[in-house]
Amino acid sequence: MSTLIVVDNPKNWPLDLKGVEIVPSRVYLTDPYYNNLRRTKVFNMCKSYRYQAAGYYVSLLAEARGHKPIPSIWTIQDMKLPTIIRFVSADLDELIQSSLAPLQSERFDLSIYFGKNLAKRYDRLSARLFDMFYAPFLRANFVFQKKWILQNISPIAGNDIPDSHRPFVLEVANAFFARQYYTRPKKSDNRFDLAILYNPGAKDAPSNDRALKKFIKAAAALNIEAELITKEDYGRLSEFDALFIRETTNVHHYTYRFARRAAVEGLVVLDDPESILRCTNKVFLAELLERHKIRTPKTMVVHRDNLVHVEAALGLPCILKKPDSSFSQGVNKAKTSEELIRYGRELLNDSELIIAQQFLPSPFDWRIGVLDKKPLFACKYFMAKDHWQIIQRTVDGKKKEGNFETFRLEDVPEKVLSTAVKAANLIGDGLYGVDLKEIDGKVYLIEVNDNPNLDAGVEDACLKEELYTTIMASFLARIERRKRLQHQI
């Protein structure tokens, strides 16, 4: 991948960088040569990114040409949005307070050069802000209002770098571009890059280590270079063609930020942000399934005013669920009227709406994996011993899981498969895990998960390596389809 630095006027550019091409913004915007380049990374170092300025158009047209602009047009927009600034300030609050605690002033400006600051004590904070607003030179403005708050972040133009900073900036810039050139050399036969987002310390990860290795191997067989990334790699998303999320998703979680940013930057994403929004809220799913007449256990959307009517409508025992519950957490079984009111009020403290559902006991739940609107795998997850859920969690945080049995698709009842596919297709064309119960010949849809477990030794027990190859082949087809559309534009 070639690297360009685009500036307003090379004569005013203060840094002598090694191994990169310096291009005037007007030339980049108008010369057909640059329009026809492929596999190009564009570092946009124009003075202004304001709407319709040259810097704005450099990132905008780089996106249209299939180049990798840094900053992207979406990062430029994010820097202008107060809601994004507040979100980042809250997300990095602990790091901000610890980094700025020694300061006695009410304001502080932090200059960030490729994720570094002249003072090493600010390097961690600088690196995290660089990850979230991936632009070469940044200035973050903080104010003290009972605690330190990020008030604003904006780009620094090359010719606005103070003279006293220039030797340091030259050093970190050359080091940055040397890393860009020498690390992760791309193999000549690998057409595309895939990022697999995971959390190395997660207790309930949706894929175990063996499965992650199998995904990487399957990708390589299709000429896709797959790399494991963590939440610290947020700023690197533009380096990839696709993102595969193998960490439990939630709207109020970094996984959603990764999905959203990857989607707006033109990457193929599983799970896509729309699927995360739809699947992680059980209130939405309840309304959607009812409207499309998919059989579920009797279900109520519960609020403070109708909590007292749940028992009459559903009977006891019944199940109460947080809208965004996962891995059997945030789910309570109310056996008495008192438990129903107590559990309901506890859950309603955190959400205006919750879900109450008829309790349908069964020895197992079906889990049907669906990809590209077709069934992919089938498992039975059995309830934990002497418990009503697949996972039983003890007070001390330990968990006990039920057994499993994996099936060939042709051995699964047709009603189970067709119901699972119909429900998943209401969400989208991504990768889903659909949970169902089969009782007295009837199939009941329990929920659709956007981030299904794919563990080596469980979901792959029948398909073996084919499971991983099928998912990677879907990524390949999606990337190629998106590239064709970009070229047509």
For 33-56, b/e burial (b = at least 16 CB within 10 A) is ebeeeeebbbbbbbbebeeeebbb
Distance CA 143, CA 126 (A): 16
Q: In the prediction, which pLDDT does 328 show? A: 58
Topology adopted by domain 2-76: Oxidized Rhodanese; domain 1 (3.40.250)
Task: Give the position of tokens 């199998």.
Answer: 214
Identify the burial level of 121 via C-beta atoms within 10 angstroms of its C-beta, where 0-12 means exposed, 13-18 middle and 19 or more buried. exposed
Topology adopted by domain 364-468: D-amino Acid Aminotransferase; Chain A, domain 1 (3.30.470)
Q: In the prediction, which pLDDT does 52 show? A: 78
Equal CATH topology for 192-275+473-488 and 364-468? no
| CATH class as words, domain 192-275+473-488 | alpha beta
Residues contacting 216, CB < 8 A, separation 6+: 196, 226, 227, 228
Q: Beta 148-155 vs 192-197: how paired, if at all? A: unpaired
Shortest CA distance to 319 belongs to which of 347, 351, 292, 277? 347
> Which residue type is seen at 55?
G
Task: Note whether 171 and 179 are within 8 A (CB).
Answer: no
Long-range CB contact pairs, 173-182, < 8 A, 24+: 173/15, 173/17, 173/113, 173/114, 173/136, 174/17, 174/18, 175/114, 176/114, 176/115, 177/3, 177/17, 177/18, 177/19, 177/20, 178/18, 178/19, 180/3, 180/41, 181/3, 181/19
Q: In the prediction, which pLDDT does 188 show? A: 42
Cis amide leading into 271 (omega within 30): yes
Q: pLDDT per position in the chain (489 positions), as tens?
A: 688 999 988 888 888 887 788 999 999 999 989 988 877 889 999 888 887 788 889 998 888 788 888 888 878 888 888 888 988 898 899 999 999 999 999 999 999 999 999 999 999 999 999 988 888 999 999 999 999 999 999 988 887 889 899 999 999 998 888 875 444 444 445 689 999 999 998 888 999 999 999 999 999 999 999 999 998 888 788 789 999 999 999 887 889 889 988 887 789 999 999 999 899 888 888 889 999 999 999 999 899 999 999 999 999 999 998 877 665 567 899 999 999 999 999 999 988 888 899 999 999 999 999 999 999 999 999 999 888 888 887 766 677 889 999 999 999 999 999 999 999 999 999 999 999 999 999 999 999 999 999 999 999 999 999 999 999 999 999 999 988 876 655
Q: In the prediction, which pLDDT does 489 show? A: 52
Q: In the prediction, which pLDDT does 486 show? A: 67
Distance CA 146, CA 286 (A): 43
Q: Where are the domains of the chain?
A: 2-76, 81-160, 192-275+473-488, 298-358, 364-468
**Complete DSSP assignment for 369-418:** EEETTEEEEEEEEEPPTTSSSSEEE-TTS-EEE--EEEE-GGGS-HHHHH
Which neighbouring-strand residues pair with 320?
A: 332, 356
Classify domain 298-358 by CATH number.
3.30.1490.20
- Map 348-377 to HEC letters: HCCCCCEEEEECCCCCEEEEEEEECCEEEE
Shortest CA distance to 203 belongs to which of 101, 110, 326? 326
Q: In the prediction, which pLDDT does 187 show? A: 44
Q: Is 65 helix (H, G, I), strand (E, B) or coil?
A: coil
Identify the burial level of 437 via C-beta atoms within 10 angstroms of its C-beta, where 0-12 means exposed, 13-18 middle and 19 or more buried. buried
Q: In the prediction, which pLDDT does 184 show? A: 45
